[in-house]
Amino acid sequence: MNSFSNYFRYIETKNYILAFKKKYALKLQILIVIQLFFCATIFGQKIHVVHDGIETDSSFYHLTKINENEFWIGGEYGILKKIDSSGTISQVNYPNDGLNILKVLNVDNYVYVVTANSVIYRFNTTDQTCLKKSFPRFKNRCFYDVISLKNGNLLVCGGTTGIQAESKTIPNGFIALLDKDLEEMEPVWKSYHKFVWSLLEMPNGEILASTFNGNNSKIIKSSNYSDWKKDSKVKGLIHELALLDGEVYYSGARSFRFRKDGIFGIKDKEEKVLNGTGCLWSMDSVDGNVISVTSNNKLVLFDTKKNEVREMDIPISKAMYDIQKISKTKILVVGHAQSMYFIDLPERQN
């Protein structure tokens, strides 16, 4: 009798525990949904997951607009894909050597893809051919940024390959001119102890470049590609220079520790330090605001009218490395583990 009594007590207790767990789990799920809904709607944004990979997937580093309905995304180990505005993804076929893709540049009917070790690819979007060019003179150098110049040539910058992988090594930074057919690359500036992260051509043809010595960034400038002089100095690492709405913006990290604090500012004006955001890798102008993506799951929004910065927490668990405006209220964000998201933002209130 006691054994039966104990058995029924066990069953009753087990059922009570299961019911409690089910009730608690339901409440927890409701709380989680409310929390996610709150995070996703406090600033009015809606997130559409295009792809959310696993930790072992290679990362996307850069995306660029090819036309109104096509974007190319490059990244770790030579991964190269294209996506349209509806979220359809396809592979770009090319002779992949497994080199990290650091920048994709669209110029007329050519798409240039620069890598972490002295190789550049040029895709002809008209006849679908691909030209691969290696530059032995720049062996063990990464091509970190590339821009198209008004004279039809390209300008490339970077330094020692290990720097892009966060290795502590001699930077050996450089800036070099390159013809659009990839026949010859000629250095126009170099420094043993500085890495060159970003290039920008101004409307008047003047070139700006951000250099970093391990502590501070100097923006240097030239009007003839050969004579360079200091323009301004910023404490921290300027990862990107961008001309947005007539102003030269910069974003980056407070130090070489990319996952700690970020920096953001307008050239020759007050720098803003953002604690805990991680590096502000890239930015774009959206509906009169400047939005940047960060290492630590945040969007940073600079309200140009109010001259204030807001940090927008979003329910994305991966670092975001690049941003591209799709429309007045829609952005495409890519990053760690092949993650891709469309984010709808509310229209700006005047």
- Domain co-membership, 36 together with 58: no
Query: 119 or 34, which is more confident?
Result: 119
Determine the 3-state secondary structure of 261 from DSSP.
Answer: coil
Burial zone of 292 (CB within 10 Å; 0-12 exposed, 13-18 middle, 19+ buried): buried
The pair of structure tokens assigned to 347 is 């229209």
- Domain co-membership, 30 together with 96: no
- 56 inside domain: yes
- Domain co-membership, 15 together with 78: no
Q: 45-49, 244-248, 258-262 — which is least confidently predicted?
A: 45-49
* The predicted structure's pLDDT at residue 237: 96
Q: In the predicted model, what is the mean pLDDT of the chain?
A: 86
Q: Which domain holds residue 169?
A: 45-344
pLDDT band at 55 (very low <50, low <70, confident <90, very high): confident
Q: Write out pLDDT tens, residues 277-289.
A: 999 999 999 988 9
Q: For residue 39, is pLDDT > 50?
A: no
Q: How far is CA 156 from CA 3, 21, 106, 238, 321, in A?
A: 82, 59, 14, 17, 20
Alpha helices in the chain (DSSP H): 2-41
- Domain co-membership, 63 together with 162: yes
pLDDT band at 38 (very low <50, low <70, confident <90, very high): very low
Query: 329 or 37, which is more confident?
Result: 329
* The predicted structure's pLDDT at residue 349: 64
Q: For residue 40, is pLDDT > 70?
A: no
Burial string for 70-87 (b: 16+ CB within 10 Å, else e) reads: bbbbbbbebbbbbbeeee
* The predicted structure's pLDDT at residue 76: 96
Report the percent of the chain where pLDDT is more than 90. Answer: 69
Q: What is the CATH number of the domain that holds 211?
A: 2.130.10.10
Contact 240, 248 (CB under 8 A): no
Q: How far is 302 from 202, CA to CA, in rounded Å?
A: 22
- Domain co-membership, 37 together with 49: no
Q: 50-54, 59-63, 97-101, 222-226 — which is least confidently predicted?
A: 50-54
pTM listed for this prediction: 0.85
- Domain co-membership, 17 together with 122: no
Cα dihedral 99→120→96→198 (10° resolution): 40
- Domain co-membership, 35 together with 49: no
- Domain co-membership, 10 together with 98: no
- Domain co-membership, 26 together with 124: no
- Domain co-membership, 53 together with 186: yes
Domains held by the chain: number: 2
- 153 inside domain: yes
β-bridge partners, 157: 145, 175
Among candidates 338, 283, 343, 294, which has minimal Cα distance to 80? 338
- 26 inside domain: yes
Contact 329, 55 (CB under 8 A): no
- Domain co-membership, 230 together with 102: yes
- Domain co-membership, 9 together with 79: no
- 349 inside domain: no
- 350 inside domain: no
